[in-house]
Structure 1
Amino acid sequence: MLIAMLVFVMAGCFFGEMSYVKPPALGVVKGIFVPKFNGQGATSDAIALLGALDACRYFLIESGIALFVAFLINVVVVAVSASIYTDDNVSSANQQHCNDLNLNLASLLL
């Protein structure tokens, strides 16, 4: 909620600033659909934009790998829990713990 609130405050500040600056509406709408860079430093802005797009691709790959590793860990936790819970060699004391398995008792599985 805090982050959402801060985003809305930032958006409100920018919209307030936009009403103060009053950019030409036709230019804003045209710039949305036909972007272009003019003036000094336009080449470096274009290169920075392309670099940011490449960074987004690599962040997507990195987060995909991290989510896949987290998925594998969760699969292992569930498989170990199920294996121990259904094993016939579990003592009666440990069987009581197995009847009430949750994430807080996952350390017992180790």
Structure 2
Amino acid sequence: GADYPACTGVTPRFCGGNIQGIIERLDYIQGMGFECIWITPPVKQYASDSCHYVDGKKWCSDGFSGYWAENFFEIDPHFGTREDLAELTANLHARKMCLVLDMVTNHAGIIESEE
């Protein structure tokens, strides 16, 4: 996996959960009666190397939620790999379930330059 800052629960950072975790819980999800699952955009996200201060407190954040796309053609290592996404899709289809990928089409991640 990628080398990202640790999740503290204090600042908005990735705090776990991935595609393999969904695959491992498909019996449970299907058992609750769900026919489809909707996941956050799994695309490669910006990881902020910089932090800033707000009211004297250090504030660091990453694109942990899937909505700060850096590359729409790659899967973020936090979430898994293309193979993981293909495996999830195949597992869902074998169960007659569907997958909805959320996506953002009106912007990419944070822009740190005005150029």
Q: Which of the two has greater helix per residue?
A: 1
TM-score w.r.t. structure 1 length? Answer: 0.24
Q: Which of the two has greater strand per residue?
A: 2
Higher RCO structure (Cα 8 Å, ≥6 apart): 2
TM-score w.r.t. structure 2 length? Answer: 0.23
Which protein is bigger by CA-based radius of gyration?
A: 1
